Homo-oligomer: A and B are copies of this chain.
Amino acid sequence: MSEKLTIGKLAGATGTKVETIRYYEQIGLLPAPARSASNYRTYEGTHLRRLSFIRRARDLGFSIDQVRELMGLADHRDQSCIAVDVVANQHRDAIRRKIADLTALAGELDALIDSCSRNTVADCRIIEALAPSA
């Protein structure tokens, strides 16, 4: 049905910027489409589906390399999806670790901010905490 999209239409349909699409083509994430007589990129349904996949995975925080891996796995429909599960789990674990790190950080900052007497810089506990004990 809806074949032959310009890069702008594809961008609109997937919530991606035009420049980003060209970038994905450049790094080999999205296959290069055919060109019109005037050298415009002409995308098909396959591109739309592939880019949607990419966007969704990126929105979930997967790296470009992970997206590449997931797409490679998705293309072998007869194989086990345990490898897919592994990638997703690794990513989820990395996010959980990052959350833990940031939570610890926020706690430290809370303590720092609470200790601020809001007087002069000379006796500011925040500056003091950042400076060495000397």
Q: Which residues of A contact B (CB under 8 A)?
A: 48-49, 52-53, 56-57, 60-61, 70, 73-74, 76-82, 84-85, 88-89, 91-92, 95-96, 98-99, 102-103, 105-106, 108-110, 112-113, 116-122, 124, 126-127, 129-132, 134
A49-B134, A76-B121, A119-B80 are contacts. A106–B92 as well, Cβ < 8 Å? yes
* Partner pick for A53 among B96, B102, B118, B131, CB 8 A cutoff: B131
* Partner pick for A106 among B80, B82, B96, CB 8 A cutoff: B96
A-B contact pairs, 5 of them (CB 8 A): A49-B134, A53-B132, A61-B105, A70-B130, A99-B103
- Whether A121 contacts B78 by the Cβ 8 Å rule is yes
Whole-angstrom distance between the Cβ of A101 and the nearest chain B Cβ: 9
Whole-angstrom distance between the Cβ of A10 and the nearest chain B Cβ: 13
Across the interface, name the chain B residue whose C-beta is closest to A57. B130
Complex contacts, A77 vs chain B, CB 8 Å? 120-122
Across the interface, name the chain B residue whose C-beta is closest to A124. B81
Complex contacts, A108 vs chain B, CB 8 Å? 60
Q: What CA separation (Å) do A81 and B131 show in the bound complex?
A: 15
